[in-house]
């Protein structure tokens, strides 16, 4: 919204928005954020790992941490995200469903952290990418059973490792597939039958094609990798646009931390960014998943930096914010109550100082954060 406005909050909900500039006269508490303040819906990070500590070796750290200590770390990570204005996170991989325990805690005390949409341990092949999180499974019957268990435990999304990744020694390379098309269809069909969306970790070109064909709801990373590097594929981009598949781009870097890419990856970055530009220009449903927690330059408050990253891809600041608010809410199936400032929406509000329509960096100038109607910053 532009111009003066008053957002009316009752409890944890927004009950109305007055754009006339008039203030309530019934004794209601009024918080004046100042003439340069911009009110935004709380941001939504579509891909985080609260269990990873954003250290130099998060996998080893996780393995050495007890469940109780890990939940304490996850609690602090969630708080860090909230104070940056991230009021909803989709946790796409934890150990032993610990994110569900934290979700239950934060449901009782929402002012302590963002709403968590948890995937639980991601489905992966034996010894596959992130197998140490406990989600190893293969075969159609076992895949169906795994989806059912995640649903029964209360997960909000199914995460499957369609391809290899960069964090797991001795697993298949990131450009190789872990599951074939038939396996992916089994998971998608069962998840959709139970009313759950599916997020597919997909670096490899073949994995992206198969996951899209299987009907996953979102593709994570979408790196278009082959054994020879990043491969442009205009036909595949057109397919993703036609099918309406969400692409969750891995953006947002802490500029205060030196970026140290694995050997051989640095040369692929420019090609990958070109692919991201193509996806945006072609009209793909682009959202941002920071992958917070996986490296020192990926702390849990990093998502807002993704606005500037999108701007470098030619995305307008307002479109970038839409990708982290209303569009992300559509993907996460919380549309209506998240990602907007309107009556009946959750009172998750980010207040920044500056004109976000013209200055993407303004989203970093946090003035206030409200979670479920409570001011937390």
Domain boundaries, the chain: 43-337
Structure tokens at 338: 């998240």
43-337 CATH choice from 3.40.50.1820, 2.40.170.20, 3.20.20.140, 3.40.50.1170: 3.20.20.140
Structure tokens at 220: 């994570």
Whole-number pLDDT of residue 1: 47
| Measured distance CA(130)–CA(214) in Å, rounded | 22
| Measured distance CA(113)–CA(110) in Å, rounded | 6
Whole-number pLDDT of residue 269: 82
Model confidence band, residue 21 (pLDDT cutoffs 50, 70, 90)? confident
- Identify the bridge partners of residue 349 per DSSP, sorted by sequence position: 41, 370
pLDDT at 28 over 90: no
Closest CA to 230 of 196, 182, 265, 278: 265
Model confidence band, residue 362 (pLDDT cutoffs 50, 70, 90)? very high
As a whole number, mean pLDDT of residues 214-236 equals 94
| Measured distance CA(293)–CA(130) in Å, rounded | 14
Contact by Cβ (8 Å): 292, 45:
yes
List phi, psi (to 5°) of 183.
Answer: -60, -45
Contact by Cβ (8 Å): 226, 176:
no
Structure tokens at 347: 């009172």
pLDDT at 203 over 50: yes
| Measured distance CA(210)–CA(192) in Å, rounded | 17
Model confidence band, residue 105 (pLDDT cutoffs 50, 70, 90)? very high
Other residues' Cβ atoms within 10 Å of the Cβ of residue 267: 11
As a whole number, mean pLDDT of residues 23-30 equals 80
As a whole number, mean pLDDT of residues 253-264 equals 81
Other residues' Cβ atoms within 10 Å of the Cβ of residue 347: 23
As a whole number, mean pLDDT of residues 52-62 equals 97
Residue 48's Cβ-count burial label (10 Å; 0-12, 13-18, 19+) is: buried
Contact by Cβ (8 Å): 218, 245:
yes
């Amino acid at each position: 919204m532009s111009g003066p406005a008053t957002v009316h909050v009752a409890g944890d909900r927004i009950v109305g928005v007055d754009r006339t500039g008039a203030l309530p006269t019934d004794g209601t508490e009024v918080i004046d954020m100042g003439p340069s303040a911009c009110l935004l819906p709380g941001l939504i990070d579509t891909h985080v790992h609260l269990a990873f500590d954003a250290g130099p070796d998060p996998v080893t750290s996780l393995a050495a941490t007890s469940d109780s200590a890990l939940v304490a770390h996850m609690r602090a990570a969630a708080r860090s995200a909230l104070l940056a204005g991230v009021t909803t996170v989709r946790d796409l991989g934890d150990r032993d469903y610990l994110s569900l325990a934290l979700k239950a805690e934060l449901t009782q005390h929402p002012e302590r952290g963002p709403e968590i949409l948890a995937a639980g341990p991601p489905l992966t092949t034996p010894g596959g990418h992130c197998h140490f999180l406990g989600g190893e499974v293969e075969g159609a019957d076992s895949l169906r059973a795994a989806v059912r268990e995640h649903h029964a435990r209360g997960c909000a999304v199914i995460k499957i490792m369609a391809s290899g990744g960069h964090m797991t020694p001795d697993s298949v390379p990131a450009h190789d597939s872990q599951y074939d098309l038939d396996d992916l269809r089994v998971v998608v069909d069962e998840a959709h039958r139970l009313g759950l969306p599916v997020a597919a970790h997909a670096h490899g070109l073949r994995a992206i094609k198969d996951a899209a064909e299987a009907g996953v709801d979102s593709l994570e990373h979408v790196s278009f990798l082959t054994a020879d590097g990043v491969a442009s594929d205009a036909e595949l981009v057109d397919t993703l646009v036609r099918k309406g598949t969400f692409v969750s781009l891995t953006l947002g870097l802490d500029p205060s931390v030196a970026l140290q890419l694995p050997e051989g990856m640095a040369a692929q970055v420019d090609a990958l960014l070109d692919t991201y530009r193509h996806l945006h220009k072609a009209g793909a449903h682009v959202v941002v998943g920071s992958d917070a927690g996986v490296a020192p330059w990926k702390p849990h408050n990093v998502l807002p930096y993704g606005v500037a990253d999108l701007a470098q891809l030619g995305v307008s600041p307002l479109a970038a914010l839409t990708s982290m608010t209303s569009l992300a809410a559509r993907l996460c199936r919380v549309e209506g109550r998240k990602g907007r400032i309107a009556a009946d929406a959750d009172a998750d509000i980010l207040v920044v100082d500056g004109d976000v329509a013209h200055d993407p960096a303004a989203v970093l100038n946090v003035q206030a954060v409200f979670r479920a109607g409570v001011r937390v910053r």
